[in-house]
């Protein structure tokens, strides 16, 4: 078997769900920089078209498809549109997701369903539809599920969101096996603290104490950028990751590693379970 010697994605087609802003935008631009043509599915047409235009400015083809990822019919129609426009799909980034903080004991069943639809059902529908296109093309492919560091630790106030993201990690492993014979590799990323429009309202309100506590648990003492997620996704999509499947990679400035270790206020040293 030929093993790739660079990160290029020339000629490949990447479909990024919720690609109009934030992490999805970072993935769309990172794969485009490596030569991929890009389809973006989102409910935000203004920013979806903006990202598509930015991809075209790099010399790649791009398509924005309006789609509400919580509606499986729309997801299937969107995947069909992408496949008809480009004739293939090589990379699927399942990025649609999100959650609102609420203590579980106060959370309505309607809210459970909203979280599950956006974070899990959207991924199931997109994976099934896009993997069928990959299988029919017989060229293999890559599926990258954007989970969260909340999949790997407790998340009080985000219990249902975290359960969905943990489900995504499990689904990633199962799909890595089910799709291996079709040469489709399946991965998950577990981001933490990425600077996106989704997180900026939270940080606009963050107090100095909040920022200090973030710096105490986050080894790199800063938020990550959307490019830092996009670059890992582009690597996973490339032939340079040809022997990698079923894994979840934390892209989190080291926060998964810190696991209960924090810095004492104003200190450079680490202590376990500092208040
Ligand atoms: N930002 C972080 O630190 C972080 C950390 C862990 C996981 N994540 C995950 O990364 C993904 C992206 O997060 P983000 O911070 O970039 O979000 P964001 O809020 O900045 O952007 C979300 C995008 O999703 C689109 N969207 C929302 N609902 C949609 C729907 N029903 N159908 C289609 N598109 C829809 C929005 O229009 C927007 O373009 C999510 O799955 C999130 O759970 C983010």
Order across the sheet with 248-251: list the strands: 62-66, 37-42, 13-17, 91-94, 141-146, 184-191, 248-251
Domain boundaries, position 61: 13-206+223-254
CATH code, domain carrying 137:
3.40.50.720
Q: 102 CA distance to ligand 1 centroid (A)?
A: 18
As for ligand 1, residues whose beta carbon falls within 6 Å of it are 18, 20-24, 42-44, 68-70, 95-98, 118, 146, 148, 191-194, 196-199
Q: What is the pLDDT of residues 178-198, one digit of tens each?
A: 999 999 999 999 999 999 999
CB 103 within 8 A of CB 28: no
Q: What is the pLDDT of residues 210-266, one digit of tens each?
A: 888 788 889 999 999 999 999 999 999 999 999 999 999 999 999 999 988 888 877
Q: Whose CA is closest to 233, among 220, 244, 222, 218?
A: 244
**CA pair distance 116, 163, nearest whole angstrom:** 9
Does 259 fall in a domain? Answer: no
Q: What is the pLDDT of residues 107-121, one digit of tens each?
A: 999 999 999 999 999
Those residues whose C-beta lies under 8 Å from the C-beta of residue 58, and which sit 6 or more positions away, are 29, 32, 33
Instruction: Identify any residues that bridge with 220 across adjacent strands, giving them in sequence order.
Output: none
Does 273 fall in a domain? Answer: no
Q: Answer whether residue 135 shows pLDDT above 90.
A: yes
Output the pTM of the full model.
0.97
Q: 129 CA distance to ligand 1 centroid (A)?
A: 21
Q: What is the pLDDT of residues 53-105, one digit of tens each?
A: 999 999 999 999 999 999 999 999 999 999 999 999 999 999 999 999 999 99
Nearest-CA residue for ligand 1 atom 19 is: 198
Q: Answer whether residue 9 shows pLDDT above 80.
A: yes
Residues 22, 99, 63, 13, CA torsion sign: positive
Q: State how many domains the chain has.
A: 1
Does 266 fall in a domain? Answer: no
Largest distance between two CA atoms of the chain: 57
Query: DSSP code of 223?
Result: P
Does 177 fall in a domain? Answer: yes
Does 3 fall in a domain? Answer: no
Give the per-residue pLDDT at 275.
58
Average pLDDT of the chain is: 95
**Strand 248-251 versus strand 141-146 pairing type:** unpaired
């Amino acid at each position: 078997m030929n093993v790739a010697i660079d990160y290029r994605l020339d000629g490949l087609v990447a479909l990024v769900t919720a690609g109009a802003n934030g992490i999805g935008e970072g993935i769309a631009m990172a794969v485009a920089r490596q030569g991929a043509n890009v389809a973006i599915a989102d409910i935000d047409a203004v920013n979806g078209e903006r990202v598509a235009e930015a991809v075209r400015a790099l010399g790649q083809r791009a398509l924005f498809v309006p789609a509400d990822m919580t509606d499986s019919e729309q997801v299937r129609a969107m995947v069909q549109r992408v496949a008809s426009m480009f004739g293939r799909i090589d990379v699927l980034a399942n990025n649609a997701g999100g959650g609102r903080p609420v203590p579980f004991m106060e959370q309505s069943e309607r809210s459970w369903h909203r979280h599950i639809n956006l974070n899990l059902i959207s991924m199931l529908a997109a994976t099934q539809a896009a993997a069928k296109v990959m299988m029919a093309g017989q060229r293999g492919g890559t599926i990258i599920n954007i989970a969260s560091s909340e999949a790997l630790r407790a998340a009080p106030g985000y219990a249902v969101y975290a359960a969905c993201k943990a489900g995504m990690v499990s689904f990633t492993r199962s799909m890595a096996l089910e799709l291996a014979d079709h040469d489709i590799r399946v991965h998950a990323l577990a981001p933490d603290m990425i600077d996106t429009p989704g997180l900026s309202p939270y940080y606009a309100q963050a107090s100095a104490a909040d920022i200090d506590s973030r710096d105490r648990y986050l080894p790199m003492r800063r938020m990550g950028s959307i490019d830092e997620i996009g670059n890992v996704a582009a690597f996973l999509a490339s032939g340079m990751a040809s022997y990698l499947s079923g894994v979840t990679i934390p892209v989190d400035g080291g926060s998964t590693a810190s696991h209960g270790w924090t810095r004492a206020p104003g200190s450079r040293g680490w202590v376990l379970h500092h208040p």
